[in-house]
Structure 1
């Protein structure tokens, strides 16, 4: 999956800082690689593809915002 071209902020404006965009792109690639590896390993070890997809989606859904508790 291609890195998103635009990273919208809460106000809808895109992140424009070059360094932030670089970090976002690197993180996106790293997450893709790790998820792909975990998915492929699970499927090759006999886990249902749909179950693994669902569990990975649940993992993302369960992420807690770093802003939580900061009043934001």
Structure 2
């Protein structure tokens, strides 16, 4: 994702509306940048130590799948 794409990305709330609070958007962008850098560093380390790139990606995907919402039973789930 390019910097322009990252800037154009819309964070949405649980109703699908864009998050418009500038401070919230700034924090989300900072978190995004930090996570991307940490993932890239971990990916590079793994590959340099001989792990197959696809295996690293599968590990990251498994981590994402295991995320739980602090408000619900799983990531992205909403209560009725």
TM-score, normalization: structure 2?
Answer: 0.80
Q: Unaligned regions of 5+ residues in structure 1, if any?
A: none
The structure 1 segments of at least 4 consecutive aligned residues displaced by more than 6 Å after TM superposition are: none
TM-score, normalization: structure 1?
Answer: 0.89
2:15 to 11, 18, 22: 11
2:33 to 6, 16, 29: 29
In structure 2, the partner of 1:46 is 50
Q: Which has the higher contact order (CA 8 A, sep 6+)?
A: 1
RMSD: 1.7
How many residues align structurally? 71
